[in-house]
Amino acid sequence: MRFVIPVALFFASLALQAQIMSKPPLAQAEQFITQAESRLSELSVKVNRAAWVQENFITDDTEALSADAQDQITAVTTELIEQSKQFDRINMPPDLARKFKLLRLSLTAPAPRDPALRREMTQIATSLDADYGKAKYCRKPHECLDITAIEHIMETSRDPKELGDVWLGWHKISPPMRQRYARFVELSNQGARELGYKDTGALWRAGYDMPPDAFSGDLERLWQQVLPLYLSLHTFVRAKLSQHYGPNVISADGPIPADLLGNPWAQQWGGIFSIVGLPENSRGYDLTELLKAKNLDAKGMVHCGENFYKSLGFAPLPQTFWERSLFTKPADRDVVCHASAWDIDNKDDVRVKMCIQVRDVDFVTIHHELGHNFYQRAYKNQPFLFEGGANDGFHEAIGDTIALAITPEYLQKIGLLDKVPPPEADIPILLRQALDKVAFLPFGLMIDQWRWKVFSGDIKPADYNKSWWELRKKYQGIAPPVDRSEADFDPGAKYHVAANVPYMRYFLADMLEFQFYRALCRESGYKGPLNRCTFYGSKEAGEKFNKMLEIGQSKPWPDALEALTGERQVDAGAILEYFAPLKKWLDEQNRGQKVGW
């Protein structure tokens, strides 16, 4: 049966070409893209269903089914891109030209045209994803920890020996990925070159409506804007950790050990709020305790998230969302627990997949993931190639924008909090927010800085781990808790590397969400300090929001940004305004401390 698919595709391609070539050139191009969208839409549903089953029921069989589905759509997309080159010299209307451009940028993992090599690449990609989903650290014969348990320990433990042990245990999952990952890079680069790109990283950077080099320069501009804020936070946190654990565990002027920051990847530091020197109740509330006091379970937390979007005027989620989503980790099987949002049929079959715990971070994550789903529903009437975020950073920023509005005022409105804390609680609240949002910025930037250099060949397989930690030190001021070598493959211990998910979207989202948030606060009529705003219940804000969302990918992203904010450039001004009171406070606390590492 596997030999029938390529032959069928070959004859279907010949028939399509003959039909199209009988028309004038522009009409040919229009018919080609219409039929391409129809084929890709149909195949995408099959891929989505196979991937959903594979991530929810991890077996050799589901891996094979998912790999087969991905291989088929990759083959068809690659062939369509090759065929599309015949229309390169035709003068097209902007919408049609944009569809051709998006078609050529649609493969995150471009594969070689050779069927055997293409199949090899898709099988590698599926196996890496599955390996991550099945991974456990067994610190005792009958005590095996999955990533959910690992995250909980690293967030709550204050024993440096346990933290170091668990960190090291999780990072033992990835060395077996290393050789396959290097081969994946090689094959993906071959596919990218066959499509006309220098390498896969160049293809990724081409997806931002500007030349790849200009995009890299824009990222550096944004990083320099926020670097002083990050340095202030890093200096403060390092000093507090040194006081807590002692100078024999962490120095007062060097990089911070990666296992002491409350997260397996040191990407967000909110888990260590309790040891940064402020009283436990200084924020006026503990969101985890509020959720437990209301006896909210996983599905109840999701209903809270949905209600926020409904308060803005968005339609309720369909019944199938509640029937088909995964909200908690099954007891009887392995699943990929990394939180994700799904649009199975490009219309209404939207879902989330999460292993929800009743805690503050999951409450925020729920609001984030639902942002994907409501975005997907907003642009569902666009043509297939326009069904996407204005850029991938937009898709990540939508739910994060809503999550920023999880303020004490919002918690009071939905009955979780009896009394809004006084203004003196703003610094603790902002600090808790910064430990996630500001701490994340360099991590969001460095992952693809590493991958782009891997794809370009600037980082060779023999230097994967060394270069990973050099970039983490450069951008984050983070160091491994124990010596690492090229026998390790620490990048693979991060889901997005194992699953080949581009990561610069998250750095952009961290900027965009504050721009979106400020615009929605203004639209709702809010006049106070930016960090205290919630636009919950504002139909005016919701209407403006939806106008941007329904554009999807049909226009260059500056057009979508302008529709909501009136601005055409990603800018850190809003995030700096939001955290301005905290920056002033941090600098006062840091007097006499060394800044940097």
The residues, ordered by sequence, that sit 6+ positions from 52 with a Cβ below 8 Å of its Cβ are: 342, 344, 351, 353
Residue 101: in which H helix or E strand, if any? helix 94-104
| DSSP structural state of residue 249 | T
Q: Write down the catalytic residue from 151, 369, 513, 523.
A: 369
- Contact (Cβ atoms closer than 8 angstroms) between residue 378 and residue 399: no
Q: Is the dihedral of CA 282, 283, 287, 288 positive or negative?
A: negative
Q: Is the dihedral of CA 100, 340, 406, 374 positive or negative?
A: positive
The tokens for 596 are 């940097």
Distances (CA, A) of 8 to 3, 5, 12, 247: 9, 5, 6, 67
The residues, ordered by sequence, that sit 6+ positions from 350 with a Cβ below 8 Å of its Cβ are: 317, 318, 321, 341, 342, 343, 344, 373, 376, 377
The tokens for 343 are 């649009």
Separation between Cα atoms, residue 326 and residue 329, nearest integer Å:
8
- Contact (Cβ atoms closer than 8 angstroms) between residue 29 and residue 90: yes
Residue 490: exposed, middle, or buried by beta-carbon count in 10 A (0-12, 13-18, 19+)? buried
Separation between Cα atoms, residue 76 and residue 38, nearest integer Å:
12
Separation between Cα atoms, residue 517 and residue 541, nearest integer Å:
10
Residue 282: in which H helix or E strand, if any? none
Q: How big is the chain, counted in residues?
A: 597
Nearest to 74 by CA among 50, 100, 40: 40
Q: Write down the catalytic residue from 63, 496, 513, 523.
A: 496
Tally: H helices and E strands in the chain: 24, 6
- For residue 369, indicate whether it is catalytic: yes
Separation between Cα atoms, residue 229 and residue 23, nearest integer Å:
59
Residue 427: in which H helix or E strand, if any? helix 426-456
Q: Where are the alpha helices (DSSP H) in 195-318?
A: 200-205, 212-245, 287-293, 298-311
Separation between Cα atoms, residue 195 and residue 570, nearest integer Å:
29
Coil vs helix vs strand at 257: strand
- For residue 372, indicate whether it is catalytic: no
- Contact (Cβ atoms closer than 8 angstroms) between residue 138 and residue 457: no
Q: 523-547 burial string, b = 16+ CB within 10 Å, else e?
A: bbebeeebbebbbbbbeebbebbbe
The residues, ordered by sequence, that sit 6+ positions from 166 with a Cβ below 8 Å of its Cβ are: 137, 139, 145, 150, 153, 154, 157, 259, 264
The residues, ordered by sequence, that sit 6+ positions from 281 with a Cβ below 8 Å of its Cβ are: none
Separation between Cα atoms, residue 166 and residue 172, nearest integer Å:
10
Coil vs helix vs strand at 549: helix
Residues annotated as catalytic are 369, 496
